Structure 1
Amino acid sequence: MKKVDLKKKKKITLQEDKNKQKAPKKQASNSKLFDWILWSCVFALSIGLIFLIYQLHMLDIRFMLAAGTILLLLDVLFFVLLKKRKKKSWRSTLYKVVMVVLVALYGFGDYTLINTYRAFNDITRGTQSTIHVSLLVKTDSPIHSIEELANKKIGYSNNMDSRSSSVAMAQINTEVAPIEYVDLNDYQQLYDRLMNGEIDALIIPSNRIMMLKERYKSIQSDTRQLQEFSDTRKIDLSKVPEIDISKEPFVVYLSGIDEGEDPDLDARSDVNILVMVDPKNNQMTTVSIPRDSYMPNPAMANGSDKLTHLGNDGVLNSMEGIEEAFGIEIDYYAKMNFQSLIHIVDALGGVKVDVKIDFSEQDENRSFKKQDKIYLKKGVQTLNGKEALAYSRHRKTEGYGNTGRENAQQQIIHAIMDKLTSPEGIAHINGVMNVAAKYVSTNIPLSSLQAFISKQLSDIKPWSVDSLTLKGGVDATLTTVSMPSLPVSCYLLSNGDLSKVYNAYQRMFYTPNLKKFGFNLSKDPHSLIAYKDPQARSEYMITSEDAGRLDPYNVYYGIDRVDSSNASVSQNRAESEQIEVIAPSQVEQPVYTPSLPQEEESGNQEPSQGEDAPSQEETPGQPEPDTPQEPAPEVPEESVPEQTPTEQPTTPEQGEVQ
């Protein structure tokens, strides 16, 4: 019989008992270590939140102090609870759950604030603009490198793009010589010469290629890019106004370009919206300006051009042209491309819009292939990014036109704003910020943007939003300064349109004197208005009231200054290509001239709020008020000072301005 070592057995038993006693202590120690790690994470993330809130400068100092105090008090509270917590109690479990939730919330908050700060820095980077310049040859050209251009002819237009052409030629000259450069007045004639073999290559900015596509549909298949150059220019920020936008009225020009993905590109502006913001009265007015509006192009001696073409010479050029046309001052711009609309809407999970018509439209790549086209039915629906872009672009349906498209663009903007301020939209804020950082650019200083947001967060009040569309003018086929040998579709704004925008602008600066505000229904339905600053009409602005004096084939620098040097070329092209020329016809547009209120005996008269104040969103086809207007007295011809446009180099193809 085997003997049992009682001492050894007893020793083993005692060791097992000790191990059993140590196990709970070890588990408790591990649990407490996990709790300390959780608290440390919460503390670090809360300190990060406090720092980021301060760094963003979007909260009033009182709210920042309150938020920081609350976060620190929570840290202290959870520290005390951690020290006094009991082992294996439901409170211990609840503590862990709460701390895990706080880690997730604080982490999301830190990430969102970091993302927001980075996005605002990127968005307000508007310090440069870029133009891509192409060196084109015919598709079947035997030339396949710059070196093969020796002793060849290269066309360019110093009149249209002197700087961009110079940048390209400087780089070409470093690689090959000799070269004969041919300078012509416009790209239509240069492109024709390229196709006819009269020149071997063509220097042309990519935004001008997009213009030529309006008439030369096969330009992409008929040409080949030999090389691309970039012309980057610094934007002069010294002209950015120093105003406190949290208190003072300001105007932002929204420009939507139709090329590439980089918002710094200079390209045609197909979306042109003025946003007039009055932070004192929480009033915002949006004005959609038709892309085909006929107005001065400052980059080309204020010759008349389509508004969309002004963007080819930069967003500041578009701003100056609009200021010249309406007699207002625009403080800032916000520039984006069409790709941004797609990504912003998709980042929000779509937007709900009441589509006004059944239609089909090209896709984001301008493809009209059946499998690529976008088809939408009339009615309320949630649109994705591509559908929202198609709706904001469409204008070809008969009776819908530019007015319908401008209303659609405002619908999309309002739908995005509604979604952004909804709980669902807030959940997608990081995705929207990532898109905005990539596709949006503005010259609004970051400090001004922070001050505006801070004011709104500290004094939350509802905003009143009005929408204006300009529909008092007429369509016409005209030759423009940027396309002087090809008549294109234009839109002549009316004097009433100019007054409507000016009045909306002026009403931000003047508080109405209700004692002097009244109506005279027996005479006309308008209120009696007097503005301190009367609207100044530009000598370069041509309106629908001037339509009867316009020739479709001339280029105008104001109604009394005409360049007819390319008129015969423009007319011959219209006839040979069977372009439908809509002759400009004068339309009598009633324009109300405000009457001065009668002064009271007791004191000085104060200006009152503007006439023709924007109503809630206007609908296409709404008639303008039928107000009689007395004809202006004729001005003797001798009293009009002789005006001549800015002197430009004259080439064999370019005539003198008459």
Structure 2
Amino acid sequence: MEHQHSHASKNQSKKSKNNNMPGKLITMIQLILSAAFLIILWNSGMLPGLYLALLGGGLFLLFAVTFCLQYVKNKSKYLGMVISILVSIVLAIGIVYFLRVQKTMEEVGGATYKTDNMIVVVKASDPAESILDAGNYRFGYQTATDQKNNQMMMDDVEKVVGRELNLTEYGTVTDLANALLSGQVEAAIYNEAFNGIIEESIEGYTDQIKILYQYGIETPIEQEETNVEEPFNVYISGIDVSGPITTNSRSDVNIIMTVNPNTKKILLTTTPRDYYVTIPGISGEQRDKLTHAGIYGVDASMATLENLYGIDISYYARVNFTSLITIVDALGGVDVNSEYAFSAGGYDFKQGINSLDGKAALAFSRERYSFQSGDNQRGKNQEAVLTAILQKAMSPAILTSANQVLAEVSSCVQTNMTQDEMAKFINMQLSDGASWTIESAAVSGTGDSQACYSSGAQLLYVMWPDEAIVGDLSRRMNQVLEGN
């Protein structure tokens, strides 16, 4: 009898020990998830070492508590299991969150190429439905610019239709467009980025044509190695299309962001889209509008501004009109300071602080006819919106919605800043948490009508640079970079 009681007691003890196994297994899963979470954060480079140490210590303490509770013989072990399960769920969500952030940063950053979208267009009323229907057409092309891409496109079209094209040359893209509309040629080959230039000469041109065929040509962009912990310049380009962000297009917003991470100072410098400048490596001594430089790629715009101000620009960020709406809405709206009270796009803006959603911010940024200084004031308003975006994006509160913001803007923002460089910048900001001083400035000039390199003999509105103001702003940029 005594032997049976002893045997039963041993079985009960074993059963009790076995009953603790699920709890111990759960806490081990918690430990594995904790280690995985810390490794992902370490590899991301976004969190400062102190943050990681504190987080690691906290996670180890949680594990120690939940694991020790599994050896307690009362109901506390169940509390330990519940805590362990909750911690594991939070860790799993955190791992997924940071993996998504890293993936999105990879998609947004590290851009190393530009895309020229070459097209074949016919009149909107043309019966052809595909490029194969146009094999026997008379094709026109322009020879003033973009000859390399034109040749690549013509070779591709000949390969697709399986025959040599009947070709006619035209001096400028505007001459080519007029030839198409007048029936001199039945199809035209050119870079889609030139549509904006054609519209300046032929009102409603894009409504009179249809795209029959398109072919994307990717070209690498050279990049200099830069340390984001040292002062640098960023070129912010607002392109005039709503399509793929990699596609070359006119740049209607041209802002240089001079950043000094040591003094926490940012200078935003706006250059009007109509500034009459040379495009290095493209136009020679002939001048063109700054906005047209974007047709040849973001690197051409950067080289133009570097030449104008005598500076080096390390990074660029390209956004389109769709981007602004997406970014502002992803941030939960922004507070923008307006110099004037005005109405635009169905919105009424007051003098002072305006709380704007994406569509309102876009209307605020695009308006110029309400102001006597026109495009100059529009540039200042764009700086005001960018300042509001930067202030919101650099606040600690943004960390709670960083993944959502990055996910929503990944398809409409492009930058050559790599994921590692972005992570270093975030790490640096989290380390000191200091607020930034953001100043803005804009150059101006004198309006005129002149021929432009990209559009031929057609006279277009341009703005001759005010060399004195350009020189002053160049000095201000260098002062920010030098920490003065």
TM-score for the superposition, normalised by structure 2: 0.88
1:136-157 superposed Cα distances (whole Å, 9 cap, x missing partner)? 1112335444345455421111
Pair 1:176–1:92, CA change in 2 (3 A): closer
Asked if 1 retains the 8 angstrom alpha-carbon contact of 2:145 and 2:454, the reply is yes
Give the structure 2 partner of residue 309 of structure 1. Answer: 292
Distance in 1 (CA, whole Å) between partners of 2:482 and 2:53 is 37
Give the structure 2 partner of residue 189 of structure 1. Answer: 175
Give the structure 2 partner of residue 411 of structure 1. Answer: 384
Give the structure 2 partner of residue 47 of structure 1. Answer: 35
Asked if 1 retains the 8 angstrom alpha-carbon contact of 2:232 and 2:481, the reply is no
Pair 1:97–1:467, CA change in 2 (3 A): farther
Give the structure 2 partner of residue 74 of structure 1. Answer: 62
Give, in angstroms, the shift of residue 353 of structure 1: 2.5
Q: For 1:331, which of 298, 314, 319 is the aligned residue? A: 314
Distance in 1 (CA, whole Å) between partners of 2:447 and 2:86 is 61
Bigger Cα displacement from structure 2, 490-499 vs 99-108: 99-108
Give the structure 1 partner of residue 341 of structure 2. Answer: 357
Distance in 1 (CA, whole Å) between partners of 2:95 and 2:131 is 52
Give, in angstroms, the shift of residue 165 of structure 1: 1.1
SS at match of 1:168: helix
Distance in 2 (CA, whole Å) between partners of 1:144 and 1:50 is 56
Distance in 2 (CA, whole Å) between partners of 1:108 and 1:261 is 33
Distance in 2 (CA, whole Å) between partners of 1:271 and 1:45 is 46
Give the structure 2 partner of residue 232 of structure 1. Answer: 218
Give the structure 2 partner of residue 157 of structure 1. Answer: 142
The structure that is strand-richer by fraction is: 2
SS at match of 1:253: strand
Distance in 2 (CA, whole Å) between partners of 1:425 and 1:62 is 20
One-letter amino acid matched to 1:271: V
User: Within 5 A, what are the aligned runs for 1:426-465?
Assistant: 426-465=399-438
One-letter amino acid matched to 1:167: M
Give the structure 2 partner of residue 263 of structure 1. Answer: 245
User: Within 5 A, what are the aligned runs for 1:507-586?
Assistant: 507-510=479-482
Aligned length: 468
Asked if 1 retains the 8 angstrom alpha-carbon contact of 2:112 and 2:222, the reply is yes
Give the structure 1 partner of residue 198 of structure 2. Answer: 212
Asked if 2 retains the 8 angstrom alpha-carbon contact of 1:149 and 1:179, the reply is no
SS at match of 1:160: coil
Structure 1, unaligned runs of 5 or more: 1-21, 362-373, 512-608, 610-658
User: Within 5 A, what are the aligned runs for 1:268-307?
Assistant: 268-298=250-280, 299-307=282-290
User: Within 5 A, what are the aligned runs for 1:138-149?
Assistant: 138-149=123-134
Distance in 1 (CA, whole Å) between partners of 2:327 and 2:54 is 33
Pair 1:61–1:84, CA change in 2 (3 A): same
1:395-449 superposed Cα distances (whole Å, 9 cap, x missing partner)? 1214252222222222222222333345653332211111233222222233333
Asked if 1 retains the 8 angstrom alpha-carbon contact of 2:144 and 2:454, the reply is no
Give the structure 2 partner of residue 612 of structure 1. Answer: none
Give the structure 2 partner of residue 506 of structure 1. Answer: 478
Give, in angstroms, the shift of residue 130 of structure 1: 1.0
Give the structure 1 partner of residue 98 of structure 2. Answer: 113
1:43-91 superposed Cα distances (whole Å, 9 cap, x missing partner)? 333222211111112334454344334322322222113332621x6x9
Pair 1:347–1:446, CA change in 2 (3 A): closer
Distance in 2 (CA, whole Å) between partners of 1:425 and 1:59 is 15
SS at match of 1:340: helix
Give the structure 2 partner of residue 649 of structure 1. Answer: none
Pair 1:58–1:465, CA change in 2 (3 A): same
Q: For 2:47, which of 50, 59, 80 is the aligned residue? A: 59
Distance in 2 (CA, whole Å) between partners of 1:159 and 1:423 is 51
Give, in angstroms, the shift of residue 503 of structure 1: 0.6
Give the structure 1 partner of residue 456 of structure 2. Answer: 484
TM-score for the superposition, normalised by structure 1: 0.66
Pair 1:404–1:97, CA change in 2 (3 A): farther
**Would you say 1:199 and 2:185 are equivalent positions?**
yes
1:561-605 superposed Cα distances (whole Å, 9 cap, x missing partner)? xxxxxxxxxxxxxxxxxxxxxxxxxxxxxxxxxxxxxxxxxxxxx
Give the structure 1 partner of residue 374 of structure 2. Answer: 401
1:515-563 superposed Cα distances (whole Å, 9 cap, x missing partner)? xxxxxxxxxxxxxxxxxxxxxxxxxxxxxxxxxxxxxxxxxxxxxxxxx
Identity of aligned residues (%): 27
Pair 1:147–1:49, CA change in 2 (3 A): closer
Give the structure 1 partner of residue 114 of structure 2. Answer: 129
Give, in angstroms, the shift of residue 285 of structure 1: 1.0
Structure 2, unaligned runs of 5 or more: 1-11
**Would you say 1:425 and 2:413 are equivalent positions?**
no
Distance in 1 (CA, whole Å) between partners of 2:294 and 2:153 is 21
Pair 1:419–1:38, CA change in 2 (3 A): farther
One-letter amino acid matched to 1:269: S
Give, in angstroms, the shift of residue 342 of structure 1: 1.4
One-letter amino acid matched to 2:219: R
One-letter amino acid matched to 2:67: F
Asked if 1 retains the 8 angstrom alpha-carbon contact of 2:371 and 2:377, the reply is no
Distance in 2 (CA, whole Å) between partners of 1:489 and 1:257 is 19
Distance in 1 (CA, whole Å) between partners of 2:439 and 2:336 is 18
SS at match of 2:237: strand
Q: For 1:243, which of 183, 201, 226 is the aligned residue? A: 226
SS at match of 1:479: strand
1:65-121 superposed Cα distances (whole Å, 9 cap, x missing partner)? 44334322322222113332621x6x955x566445534543343233212211221
Give, in angstroms, the shift of residue 501 of structure 1: 2.1
Distance in 2 (CA, whole Å) between partners of 1:119 and 1:103 is 24
Distance in 2 (CA, whole Å) between partners of 1:349 and 1:509 is 32
One-letter amino acid matched to 2:116: I
Give, in angstroms, the shift of residue 236 of structure 1: 2.5
Asked if 2 retains the 8 angstrom alpha-carbon contact of 1:332 and 1:443, the reply is yes
